[in-house]
Structure 1
Amino acid sequence: MDQIGRLIREYRERAGMTQSELAARWPRHARFGGGEGVNWKYIQDIEHGRKRIEDQTTLRKVCALLNIPLWRVGLSEYDPLSGVLSCASPFTRCFDLMELTLRQIWQLRKAALLREARQVLARLGSWLDVLQQELPPLQQRDQARFGHLLADYHCLRGVLAVDAGQYQQALAHYQQMEQLARQLNDPAVLAHALMNLGVEYDRRGELQRGIQYLEEACDFALEASKAWSVLVHSYLSRAYARAGEERRFLRANDTALRLSHVLAKNFIEDPD
């Protein structure tokens, strides 16, 4: 799968857009008449790397539409063709650095460098506290991006708390993540937050409460992507098994397997 295609899919899902919705707003090149609108299959081909965006002007417009930082697609904020500096927000570089820091913390955790991950996360938390107190009113796009960063931060805090056996702290961070996700109205973030809560309540032995959260997570996962649906249904099937609900376990497990086979087929067709 092409890296730019992955980014477009990631940010499309963050924005809560379907492929069809993005297709309707996709900027057409001037040689095709300009304006907006392409076939949704073209978006599918872009996201899976079967087609590439050759025109930089189109790529810049797509980045602006989905709020993708230009540096992530290898472009400068200065457009030499139009002479325009496209950094629309003074907070862009700050948010870019925060996003990069969160990704680095995830990598530290994957490498089992948990102490270092917690240290960097603590410094980032202090920075976020200052920003929340000092930031002036933000434009809608900046508010959404900052909200996503805060949700990612609380998710990571929760995961590291679980690693340390601090389950009550993890639950508190996942609850804050859920609040932010509902404000953002982002299906993927909501599915993630509700899934985390469901897993934690299941861990505490509150099986029905865990199932309630996981069932709600499934609803949002269906809006987000097949990958999220597979993950959430897998956890839900485990929760049903722990609760002794055999029929529901089989149904959730079958759904997870069916969707995973679809994903595997797509992967085989497009191994990049």
Structure 2
Amino acid sequence: MSAFHYGSLIKQARQRLRMTQAELAACWPRDDGGVGVSLGFVQMVEAGKKSVRSERTKRGLCDLLGLEPWQLGLSDFDPQDPTWHPRGRCLLDQTLDLAEYTIQRFEAIYRRVPLPVAAADARAVHQLFAFIKEHQPPAARQEQRFLRLYAQSLIIDAVVLIGYERYEQALTCFREMRRVAEQLGEATWLAHALVGSGIEYHRAAYFQRQAHASSWSATMQEALQHLEGARDYSFQSSRSVAAYVHAYLARVYSAIGDCSRFERAIGTALRLAPSSYGDGTDFVYHPLSGILAEESFGWLELGQPEKTLALQRTISDQIQRDGNHRLEAWIRVDWARALMMCREVEGSLAEGRLFATRARELESPQMQSRARRLAEELRQRFPTVQAIKQWVEELEEENKCKKQSEEEV
């Protein structure tokens, strides 16, 4: 065993955060500034069979796992800290380096870890940009990089806000992102901003329609206008951005019952997606399994659940290849709804329960609310099935206990 063995400490911190070794491996900070190592490497470190020698890696692990520097043999002085001026580089350059690293780490872990773990990185980035705007306004040579990273920070802010069901605040982030994108004058960022806003208008319309509000149609048209605008900008960007935009445009076409345009948009997304789709090119981290999930959702909206069920194996296999644990949970809603529409009660209930379990594990209020709505949909469709009544009651009691706990805190 190495004389410099911090593996047991790393293991304890990981377990405290309820991360698996595979999840830690995916977001492990490397000495070259990237993230991700093999599962075997993490296992050997925790077993003391390999040591961690890189100071950059150790400091990254401290940030990731909530450890103090001294616990991994480091001093409080950090040469990666933006307040230090190595080799004449200015303070803002170093701060932007740190912001970029933290954004990349968020994207590496978001699909795999509980929401509060990913939210910690988003919060750190948010605080960095609040500090920059107040204390370190960028010089002309730094402005483009600052604006691009700031736009990325707004996306991850919105992603976390959506997870906590703060939809209006998320929409505000996308509106601010559009302002930044217009300042940049770059089609890629204008497309991203319009996609984000369009998705939120679609979500609002979806809730309005469920509440039988007459305003839902106008809101859905707003969503369509934003996403078609994003499509137009995407033609001036990369294949990855165009594929991403068309996947979400397909969602809105299905919501308004336009089967022809839905099929054309989802087919375009699948054709355009390059083999490297989702690798972060032009800030597209949306994986191929995400495009397939939009197809699955669309067929449900169009009243063709058998086509959703026909995609199960394809989507499951792609989710495994992408390591998309969050979608592995969400896709259960599609399957539960499809089986419900086909009147396969037991199968629908089983998928719903699996989704609710994963929602608890990922600690996502948005997912937990969706589980309750799904249970209520099942109860209304099959009011005499005792097992469904029992599940509804379980979820209601769980939610009641959660609210009481939050009030006590």
Report the TM-score when normalising by structure 1.
0.59
Structure 1 residue 105: Cα displacement? 2.3
Tell me, yes or no, if structure 1 residue 221 matches structure 2 residue 234. Answer: yes
Structure 1 residues 169 and 256: CA distance shift in structure 2, 3 A:
same
- Indicate if the aligned counterparts of 1:108 and 1:114 stay in contact, CA closer than 8 A: no
Residues 147-179 of structure 1: per-residue CA shift (max 9 Å, x gap): 111111110010111112221121111111111
- Give the Cα separation in 2 of the matches to 1:233 and 1:108: 25
Residue 188 of structure 1: aligned partner: 188
Residue 252 of structure 2: aligned partner: 239
Structure 1 residue 229: Cα displacement? 1.0
What pairs up with 1:130-209 in 2 under 5 angstroms? 130-136=131-137, 138-139=139-140, 141-205=141-205, 206-209=219-222
3-state SS of the aligned residue for 1:253?
A: helix
Residues 76-97 of structure 1: per-residue CA shift (max 9 Å, x gap): xx9xxxxxx7x77553222111
- Indicate if the aligned counterparts of 1:194 and 1:213 stay in contact, CA closer than 8 A: yes
- Give the Cα separation in 2 of the matches to 1:128 and 1:192: 19
1:102 counterpart letter in structure 2: I
- Give the Cα separation in 2 of the matches to 1:137 and 1:237: 39
2:238 counterpart letter in structure 1: S
Structure 1 residue 137: Cα displacement? 5.4
- Give the Cα separation in 1 of the matches to 2:116 and 2:144: 30
Structure 1 residue 106: Cα displacement? 2.4
Structure 1 residues 254 and 115: CA distance shift in structure 2, 3 A:
closer
- Indicate if the aligned counterparts of 1:89 and 1:142 stay in contact, CA closer than 8 A: no
3-state SS of the aligned residue for 2:196?
A: helix
3-state SS of the aligned residue for 1:223?
A: coil
- Indicate if the aligned counterparts of 1:147 and 1:180 stay in contact, CA closer than 8 A: yes
- Indicate if the aligned counterparts of 1:199 and 1:235 stay in contact, CA closer than 8 A: yes
- Give the Cα separation in 1 of the matches to 2:197 and 2:224: 10
1:93 counterpart letter in structure 2: Q
Q: Which has the larger radius of gyration?
A: 2
- Indicate if the aligned counterparts of 2:197 and 2:223 stay in contact, CA closer than 8 A: yes
Residues 34-57 of structure 1: per-residue CA shift (max 9 Å, x gap): xxxxxxxxxxxxxxxxxxxxxxxx
3-state SS of the aligned residue for 2:236?
A: helix
What pairs up with 1:54-133 in 2 under 5 angstroms? 91-133=92-134
Structure 1 residues 154 and 265: CA distance shift in structure 2, 3 A:
closer
Residues 52-85 of structure 1: per-residue CA shift (max 9 Å, x gap): xxxxxxxxxxxxxxxxxxxxxxxxxx9xxxxxx7
Residues 209-263 of structure 1: per-residue CA shift (max 9 Å, x gap): 1110100111111111111111211111121111122333233233224324xx3
Structure 1 residues 161 and 248: CA distance shift in structure 2, 3 A:
same
Report the TM-score when normalising by structure 2.
0.41
Residues 103-147 of structure 1: per-residue CA shift (max 9 Å, x gap): 1222332322321322333233233222212224511x3011111
Structure 1 residue 265: Cα displacement? 11
Aligned residues: 179
1:242 counterpart letter in structure 2: A
What pairs up with 1:244-263 in 2 under 5 angstroms? 244-260=257-273, 263=274
- Give the Cα separation in 1 of the matches to 2:136 and 2:220: 41
- Indicate if the aligned counterparts of 2:95 and 2:128 stay in contact, CA closer than 8 A: no
- Give the Cα separation in 2 of the matches to 1:127 and 1:233: 33
Structure 1 segments, 4+ long, off by >4 Å, are: 87-90
Structure 2: give runs of 5+ residues left out of the alignment. 1-85, 206-218, 278-409
- Give the Cα separation in 2 of the matches to 1:264 and 1:117: 27
1:244 counterpart letter in structure 2: G
Residues 183-209 of structure 1: per-residue CA shift (max 9 Å, x gap): 111222221111111111111112111
1:209 counterpart letter in structure 2: E
